[in-house]
Structures are given as C-alpha cells and as structure tokens.
Amino acid sequence: MEVGQYYMKREKYDAAIDRFVEATKLMPDYAQPYKLIGEAYEKKKFLPEARQAYQKYLTLKISPKDAAEIEKRVERLDGEIQDQERRRAEATKPQG
C-alpha cells in the first residue's frame, strides 16, 4: 500500500494501480486498496474502471461517512460516463 501511495504522489498511476491490485490479492476483504484504485483510475480518466473499483469498495466494511462520499463519486462518474457515451455516439453518427 505504501509503495502504491508513493507512486500516486508522483503521478505514476499505472504503477500505483499495480501495487493496489497486489494488495487486494493479499487482503481481499480490505477496502482501502479499492478506493485508491478508483482514485488512480479517475486521475487517468478511466471512468468505468474507477466506478467499478469504488463499487467494490462499497461492498466491503467501511464507515457510513466513507460510503456516502464514495456513493457521491459513483453518481458523478455515472453522469460523466453517460456524457462521454453520448458525445461518442454523436461523434460517430453519420452526417446527413
């Protein structure tokens, strides 16, 4: 976890994600790595992946305060993902 956080601070998000995924394999019921994976994917603008990591975080034992914060992030990501999909559909629509 510490190495992943080190990479996050240096904006090396792929390396951070690798370390956090490693942590999930070693401690599958520990919530924090999933939250950090979500944050790293958000920084990379990989919104569906961020949303998925946050949803996994929400399934684990966390405080109600943390849950509320992450639920707000998931809602925001849902809106951003829908906007991206709408813009992508409009951009690929045949001009006529």
CA distance 21 to 28: 10
For 62-73, write each residue's pLDDT tens digit. Answer: 888 899 999 999
* Count of structural domains within the chain: 1
For residue 11, what is the domain's CATH number? 1.25.40.10
**In whole angstroms, what is the distance from residue 37 CA to residue 63 CA?**
18
pLDDT tens, position by position, 13-54: 999 999 999 999 999 999 999 999 999 999 999 999 999 999
Which structural domain, as residue segments, surrounds residue 39? Answer: 2-92
Contact 7, 21 (CB under 8 A): no
Strand, coil or helix: 63: coil
| CB atoms near residue 7 (< 10 Å) | 19
Task: Determine the pLDDT at residue 96.
Answer: 63
